[in-house]
Structures are given as C-alpha cells and as structure tokens.
Amino acid sequence: MTERLRWGILATGGIARLFTADLVRHGFDVRAVGSRREASAAAFAAEFGIPSVHGSYEALLADPEVDAVYIATPHPMHAENAIAALAAGKHVLIEKPFTLNRAEAERVRDAARAAGRLALEAMWTRYLPHMVRIRELIAAGALGEVRALIADHTQLLSADPAHRINALELGGGALLDLGVYPISFAFDLFGAPAAVRATAVFKPTGADAQVATIFEYEGGRTATSYSASDALGPNRAAVIGTAARIEIDAVWYSPTAFRLIDADGREVERYESRVEGRGMHYQAEAFERLVAEGRLDGGEVLSTDESVEIMGALDEIRAQIGLRYPGE
C-alpha cells in the first residue's frame, strides 16, 4: 500500500465529476477543487465532500496541500494547464486526448522531465480488469499470431453548433473525443503504425462527425476504427488472431465482458468485469504507485512517450482529412 497522494481537481465539468466520484468512492484523498468560477468550485466541493475550494486554476495550483492535479479542461487548454501545474511542482493526470497535437504533447513531456514530475494521459480504459486480462491472454499466445483489431466508438451527441463537441475552437469533433479510444487501443496492441489511412465526414461547423481509420503494421497486421458523434453504433471491439479471437461486448472501453473464441468457434473463456463505479480509479491507483516508485516515465501500460506518439498519429489523421484547429 503506497502513501496516498492529495488530489486537486482542475475544472468541474462532466468528466471531472465521473473521475472524482470514482476517487471518492474508493477512498482517495481528494483535497481541493479549482474552477474559473468560485460558485462552480463550491458546488462541486459540496457534492463530493472536498475540503478546499479555489475560485481560479492558479489558486488550486498554488495550494501546498495538493500533490497531484487531474486536468479536466477542454482539449486546447490541456497543455497550458499541465505545464502550469508541473511548474508548480504537481504531478498531472491529463484528460484524454493528452493535448491538442504532438507539438503540445512534447512540451508537456519535456516540462514533466524538467520538473521531475509525472505527466500521464487519463486513458483509464487501459487499466480496467478486462483490458488487463486481454493483454495477459495475448502475451500467453492464446490468440496465436494477432492479426487485426476492429473497434468502433460511436455516440449520438448534441447537434447544437455551440456544444463543445461541435466547436472547433474547443477541439471538438469525433476524432479527439471518441476516436482516441480505439486509436489508443491500437497502440496498446501493436505500437505505432507504419502507415495511416483516414477519411471523414464533417458537420457544418467544420468539426468532424465521422472518422474511419486503417492503421497498417509490419507483417501485415491492421487496426481498423470508426468513430462518430452523430450516430450510435454497437461500440464493440474484436482482436483477431490465427488461433482465436477476442470479442469485447459493449461498451468495450468501459467495464464489460469479453469472450475468447477458438478457431473452431468454441468459447474458451468468458470474462465478466465486476467493477464498482466507472473504473477510473484503477488508473489513479497505478498513478499513485508510479509516483511512489519514482516511475515518472509513466510505466509499461501507458508511457508519456507513447501518448506523444498517439498525438502524432492523430495529427496525421487530421492532415489526411483536412482538419485544423484555430491557432494551429
């Protein structure tokens, strides 16, 4: 058991609520919350029993009772907020995507190294029990030679042009909000691709509504993803090998079940997740262990360098589909 870090929550939106609820449910020390509006911070603190309230991000980062900061602002603010937190001596868990692009990701990584602090992307799905078991099966050779990944992440979200998902100035669109999940899964299984192919459909605001990608790897392996913010699909995934396949139920990136099916179509194993809450606390536990062990590179499950590479792949996808954000 490692000594618990004292957490600060930077921003009070929906994803911050989900993460904080899991932290509180599982006994983490959530010490403070900061928002640009003190009333929002106070309401958030009252909801989760957080002792310290700050009416600005700067005040939260200056709080000596905070060791680690969870950054839950919109995508274009991730790098600025993370670098400020690192400069204040805090470890940072940054809501996905890590940043808006690779150049920003490199700046965050370099700032973390200079500060001697951990900067980790909040790709919490990698730490869920069913994902841990899937990696164990693949490592043990249960699938034979792994040939392909197929995954979708599709939701029917707001069509309001002012909504964050449709606003380019807030990094809106299907790719960074939804596509990052299957793309990160592809990196988890196969690493960085040798080639990327992508196509997209856009909304009137210029934000991407649908994105399809194919990653190609040495030896003929492929990873195929489809993400959409304007239509709800199955939200399932499959990992296909020469000896067996894994079929992951909906919603594949959250606590769920999967089946290991051999080449004759027989179910060899069925795994069912039993998780209290959303399961975001598994990564928080890993984060605290990494800090305690001095593993400031992010460790084997998701290194900071890998998050930089993922942002590079997202940049390449955006270049192919013609998507740029204001200020780039």
Q: Which residues are catalytic?
A: 96
Decide if 171 contacts 325 (C-beta within 8 A).
Answer: yes
Give long-range contacts, CB 8 A cutoff, 24+ apart: 230-235: 230/156, 230/157, 230/159, 230/174, 230/203, 231/154, 231/156, 232/154, 232/155, 232/156, 233/152, 233/154, 234/152, 234/154, 235/152, 235/153, 235/154
Note if the bond before 97 is cis, omega within 30 degrees.
Answer: yes
Structure tokens at 27: 């006994």
**CA–CA gap between residue 38 and residue 56 (Å, rounded):** 7
Q: What is the dihedral of CA 324, 254, 137, 304, to 10 degrees?
A: 40
Neighbours of 110 (CB within 10 A): 15
